[in-house]
């Protein structure tokens, strides 16, 4: 069933990027304790499996040196130096475990895209301090779900651990007839096997928990259609968003295109989807030349830059599309468009010399073969 917002209306729309970003700033992020636990346990067990013998040797060396002393040790006894030396013998193996588990603890939220420091998450929330809300969380639906998850996890892990230990009962009993070192090695191998199996089981649980957490967060952050509309209105009018769009548009323009717009005699537009920059210098150009052309964001950037540089911008949709689909940058326009472009350039000349106004804009007729739609298809044929 679709959720309903406090203000009415069903929350049928997925959360927008802005809603997700705002929720993350407040500490509402995607997280899975099961995934974190699985990765930390697997990292620790994996390190023990690789560096376990080195750790046992380091502990043996520490105990041997700690129980051995001579006259010099008694005469010049320095407890601080002695303790530092003994701890230094096991620092590297233990440090490896700490580093591996710490890296796993950081990697878990990073995999979910939730890594980062969010100051707003540490702000006090009065609703969470209310004992009644705490009781509701414990005895509510979410509390019941967590209880079922915990019981299922205990049952699964307990069953796997019991089965593995039971299957190695004979090997465990046999260690009583061997020496300390072989027995320690055998028990260590059994421990690593059981721990790896349990860690793998935790990953199975995490594989179920992560999608469930994603679904719960999405449902929690779902929006009504009205909320989506209001957010779009606010975003469209945001100066920051407009500045970001303008910056992205400028970044799409290469330096050569910027220079082309500055040299252009006129910019023709569709008016929104296409833009072409034309140059015609009598005595230099035999015919009008296409300096730059672009669609969508590039077209918008060309128009914006033209306004900044004071280059005339005229809306001639059919002519703009015809030039865009029949000409390339750095080439002369198609000869079938000479008359139409010449008419536009003459009008620009008159405007610049204050011999005409916008009201005098001429009508342009194009050959049927030069009429295109926005997809580049001839609309006559």
Question: 3-class DSSP state for residue 15?
Answer: coil
Return residue ranges of the chain for CATH 3.40.1690.10: 252-370
Tens-digit pLDDT profile for residues 49-91:
887 778 778 877 887 777 777 666 666 667 777 777 777 777 7
- Model confidence at 355: pLDDT above 70: yes
Task: Please give the CATH number for the structural domain made up of 252-370.
Answer: 3.40.1690.10
CB 259 within 8 A of CB 305: no
Question: 3-class DSSP state for residue 232?
Answer: helix
Round to whole Å and give the CA distance between 229 and 225.
6
Q: Is the pTM of this model over 0.75?
A: no
- Model confidence at 1: pLDDT above 50: no
- Model confidence at 249: pLDDT above 90: no
Round to whole Å and give the CA distance between 59 and 54.
9
- Tell me what the mean pLDDT of segment 136-141 comes to: 65
Q: Are strands 313-315 and 266-269 parallel, antiparallel or unpaired?
A: parallel
Which range, of 15-19, 40-44, 270-274, 337-341, averages the lowest pLDDT?
A: 15-19
CB 41 within 8 A of CB 110: no
Tens-digit pLDDT profile for residues 259-312:
888 888 999 998 778 999 999 988 888 889 999 888 887 888 888 888 888 888
Residue 321: pLDDT band (50, 70, 90) is very high
CA angle 294, 343, 318 (to 5 degrees): 40
CB 378 within 8 A of CB 371: yes
Phi-psi map region of 287: left, alpha, beta (phi>0 left; psi -120 to 50 alpha): beta
Query: Which of 310, 277, 308, 313 lies closest to 293, judged by CA?
Result: 277
DSSP 299-344: HHHHHHHHHHHT--EEE-HHHHHHHHHH--TTSBPPGGGHHHHHHH
Helices (H), 168-224: 169-174, 180-221
Which structure tokens are listed for 321?
């599309």
């Amino acid at each position: 069933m679709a959720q309903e917002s406090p203000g009415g209306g069903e929350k049928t729309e997925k959360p927008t990027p802005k809603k997700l970003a705002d929720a993350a700033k407040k500490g509402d992020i995607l997280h899975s304790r099961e995934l974190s636990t699985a990765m930390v346990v697997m990292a620790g067990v994996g390190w023990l499996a690789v560096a376990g013998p080195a750790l046992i040797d380091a502990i043996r060396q520490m105990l041997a040196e700690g129980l051995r002393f001579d006259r010099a040790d008694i005469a010049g006894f320095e407890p601080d130096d002695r303790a530092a030396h003994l701890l230094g013998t096991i620092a590297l193996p233990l440090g490896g475990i700490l580093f591996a588990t710490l890296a796993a603890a950081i990697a878990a939220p990073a995999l979910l895209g939730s890594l980062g420091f969010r100051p707003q998450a540490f702000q006090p929330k009065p609703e969470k301090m209310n004992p009644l809300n705490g009781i509701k969380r414990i005895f509510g639906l979410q509390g019941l779900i967590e209880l079922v998850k915990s019981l299922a996890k205990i049952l699964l892990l307990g069953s796997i651990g019991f089965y593995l230990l039971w299957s190695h009962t004979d090997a465990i009993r046999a260690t009583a007839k061997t020496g300390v070192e072989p027995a320690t090695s055998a028990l260590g191998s059994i421990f690593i096997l059981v721990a790896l199996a349990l860690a793998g089981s935790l990953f199975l649980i995490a594989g179920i928990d992560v999608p469930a957490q994603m679904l719960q967060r999405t449902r929690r952050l779902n929006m009504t259609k009205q909320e989506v509309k209001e957010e779009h209105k606010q975003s469209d009018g945001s100066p920051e968003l407009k500045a970001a769009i303008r910056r992205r548009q400028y970044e799409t323009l290469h330096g050569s295109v910027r220079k082309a717009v500055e040299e252009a005699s006129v910019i023709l537009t569709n008016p929104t989807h296409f833009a072409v920059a034309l140059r015609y210098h009598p005595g230099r150009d035999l015919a009008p030349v296409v300096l730059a052309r672009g669609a969508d964001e590039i077209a918008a950037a060309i128009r914006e830059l033209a306004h900044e540089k004071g280059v005339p911008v005229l809306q001639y949709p059919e002519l703009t599309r015809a030039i865009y689909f029949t000409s390339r940058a750095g080439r002369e326009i198609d000869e079938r468009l000479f008359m139409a472009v010449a008419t536009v350039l003459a009008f620009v000349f008159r405007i610049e010399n204050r011999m005409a106004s916008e009201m005098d804009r001429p009508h342009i007729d194009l050959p049927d073969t030069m009429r295109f739609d926005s997809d580049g298809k001839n609309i006559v044929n």
